[in-house]
Amino acid sequence: MRSFLKNQYLQLLRKQGSKAGLIPVENPPNEDKRLEEVKRLGIMNLDLSGKHRYNSMTQVATYLTDCTQSAINILGSNVQQCKANFGFNMMQSTMLKEVPREISVCQFSLDNPGQPLIIENIFEDDRTKNLNNMPFDPGFRFYAGAPLISSRGYSLGVLCVFDPTPKNLAHQQVEGLRLLSDQVVHMLENESISTGSTIPEEDSEEKGTQLQGQYYSVSSILFADFVGFTNMVENCEPGELLDTLNTFFCGFDKIISNHNVHKVKTIGDCYMCVAGIPSQQLTHAHEICSAALDMLKFVEGTNIQYEALGKPRWELRIGIHSGPVIAGTAGNTFDIWGDAVNIAARLESSGEKGKIHISEKTKDYLEGVGLFTPRGEVQLKNKGSWSTFFLDDLN
């Protein structure tokens, strides 16, 4: 009887949402695999009502963001379950325990997994403005959510905060929410294992290269390459070319080792490295930008020697972006994957020789410690328009 009433209630909410003009997220990326991950961990079946530490996490989230309410919401295929909350009365908590995904605000996090979802005013944002047509007032105007990304890189749901007044959050507050969401995921995955909710995976008989990765919610990625390298290949002896590349790359290896930065790989004349993995240190952007400045100085110092010997100059350009990645191994080779990697590569290719081209996100992580030249809006291939900067120095 209780199950029947619950289904009737959910159907009523769905009809109200459809009548109000709410448009649900359609075809979110990797939805099938995401749902497999939610099922594998058995999170939809976890009862966390007696677990005080989850409610404590939501309470801390409100303190960090100066918001009145917070919740840990898990997104299934067609419902959203609230596993813990703070700031809601008993009736609200009961109503929010399970709602249709189609009428939830958290569902929009699936459009851009791995990134925070900030809606400054739900009645003005195109995605949520039709909530104003629902027969009840949601009671909040501001929403911010940090995605709950599993260790395998799939979204389980959102750690979110609400406030009755339209507002925005500072970079440090969004970062605080991200750090809390990382801890919530760690707790959920341990909970799933300890309660036996995790579904064992079938052994695969297929052999070959196995990808083993771990999700990291933040990192800073650097790409560097030499401008005009193709022309150098055509006009230099192969042996001399390789010796020069080896000189630069060995120098780069030493530089990044002094800045707590991890080398990923070299591809032709391109050098790639990452900071923030595996330690997730808060200084990842500062460390990789410091390394970038030293790389430019090293190249310039080497060019002075080359010019004295009558050799051509080598011009380096660098691109840096900060964001989430999957890091791991393919066989015995370390590598990183994710959209943040692609954006860093686009910043490098659209940069200028002798300059460090960074995204606004990386600038935010530097938290005012630096001198910048705004470049304005730059079109990054297949990524649209981005506000970018040239990093001139760190102070």
- What's the pLDDT score for residue 3? 74
Mean pLDDT of 240-266: 93
- What's the pLDDT score for residue 230? 67
> What is the C-alpha separation between 335 and 321, in angstroms, rounded?
16
pLDDT at 259 over 80: yes
pLDDT at 210 over 70: no
- Is the bond preceding residue 278 a cis peptide, omega within 30 degrees? yes
The gap between the terminal CA atoms of the chain, to the nearest Å, is: 66
- Which SS3 state, helix, strand or coil, does residue 151 take? coil
> What is the C-alpha separation between 227 and 354, in angstroms, rounded?
9
- What's the pLDDT score for residue 224? 98
What's the pTM value of the predicted model, to 2 decimals? Answer: 0.89
- What's the pLDDT score for residue 207? 46
pLDDT, one tens digit per residue, over 91-127 is 888 888 999 999 999 999 999 988 999 999 999 999 9
If pLDDT is split at 50, 70 and 90, which confidence band does 211 have?
Answer: low
Domains of the chain, first to last: 2-194 (3.30.450.40), 211-393 (3.30.70.1230)
- What's the pLDDT score for residue 168? 95
- What's the pLDDT score for residue 235? 61
If pLDDT is split at 50, 70 and 90, which confidence band does 193 have?
Answer: confident
- The helix (run of H) or strand (run of E) holding residue 186 is helix 171-194
- What's the pLDDT score for residue 237? 66
> What is the C-alpha separation between 118 and 121, in angstroms, rounded?
9
CA distances from 352 to 347, 375, 390 (A): 10, 11, 9
23-27, 34-38, 203-207, 357-361: the lowest-pLDDT one: 203-207
Mean pLDDT of 231-251: 78
> What is the C-alpha separation between 118 and 127, in angstroms, rounded?
12
Q: Which amino acid is at 366?
A: L
Mean pLDDT of 21-50: 93
Give the full edge-to-edge strand order of the sheet including 270-275. Answer: 262-267, 270-275, 220-227, 315-322, 356-359, 384-393, 371-380
74 neighbors 157 (Cβ within 8 angstroms): yes
Q: Quickly count helices (H) and strands (E) in the chain.
A: 10, 16
Tell which residue, 24, 5, 23, has the closest CA to residue 80: 24
If pLDDT is split at 50, 70 and 90, which confidence band does 204 have?
Answer: very low
Q: Can you say how many angstroms the Cα of residue 153 is from the centroid of all Cα atoms in its chain? A: 10
> What is the C-alpha separation between 149 and 161, in angstroms, rounded?
17
> What is the C-alpha separation between 147 and 336, in angstroms, rounded?
20
- Which SS3 state, helix, strand or coil, does residue 272 take? strand
Give the full edge-to-edge strand order of the sheet including 142-149. Answer: 98-100, 79-86, 69-75, 155-163, 142-149, 117-119
- What's the pLDDT score for residue 201? 61
Query: For the chain, what is the mean pLDDT?
Result: 91
pLDDT, one tens digit per residue, over 287-339 is 999 999 999 999 999 999 988 988 888 999 999 999 999 999 877 789 999 99
pLDDT at 60 over 60: yes
- Which SS3 state, helix, strand or coil, does residue 230 take? helix
Q: Percent of the chain scored above 70 by pLDDT? A: 94
Look-up: residue for tokens 């606004």? 360
pLDDT at 209 over 70: no
pLDDT at 136 over 90: no
> What is the C-alpha separation between 5 and 11, in angstroms, rounded?
10
Q: Percent of the chain scored above 90 by pLDDT? A: 77
